[in-house]
Chains A and B, each alone.
Chain A
């Protein structure tokens, strides 16, 4: 089955700096790659996703890149703000399993003012 590895497990940056979180997946049939943000004590919520027919996607300060050949994808947050502090999860899905997501281990991002 699918296995998703996520790095780093913790990341601390200064406000205004950029943050990058990386994930690798094992199943070459995976074709949908979302990122979820989970604030302390809250539920995970989708912030951005990318499908395998696209190499990059941006939404304001966040962007995701996908390298299908290498089977890895990354989340980029620019101009970080204290409210970006949270745990971020990457996930992968095959597309024919009704939305079944396999998640990475999570990255705890801390943005220091």
Chain B
């Protein structure tokens, strides 16, 4: 049963600390998405990649957020420095390619910044 894997599942940190979230997409999927979920904003698209190349990161605060895909099996989302308003659940999702279809979500990383 292929699944998107995210770590950590839960993270509590203090304001100003660096946070790194990791995602392993489903093997063979070539598109990877980072979404942020809050009560107020629903599911916001932060960034996405196709074949490891960043296609769109316009939803991401550039001064503190960065997203990378060092290889086809790993996507990272980094926040430095973190702020209380970054508290949210961060979902990674992967998809099979250029044709629209189902996105497969990971279980999410719940981030709390104190």
Contact = CB atoms under 8 A, between A and B. Distances in A.
The answer to whether A and B belong to the same complex is yes
A34 B99 CA distance: 13
Nearest 9 pairs of A and B residues by beta carbon: A99-B95, A32-B100, A43-B105, A103-B43, A105-B42, A98-B31, A46-B102, A98-B50, A93-B100
Contacts of A32: 100
Interface of B: 31, 33, 35, 41-45, 48, 50, 55-56, 91, 95-103, 105-108
Interface residues of A, number: 24
21 contacts: A31-B100, A32-B100, A34-B102, A42-B107, A43-B106, A43-B107, A43-B108, A46-B103, A49-B101, A51-B100, A89-B42, A93-B100, A97-B56, A99-B98, A99-B100, A100-B45, A100-B48, A100-B56, A103-B44, A104-B42, A106-B42
A99 B45 contact: no
A103 B35 CA distance: 10
Interface of A: 31-32, 34, 42-46, 49, 51, 89, 93, 95-106
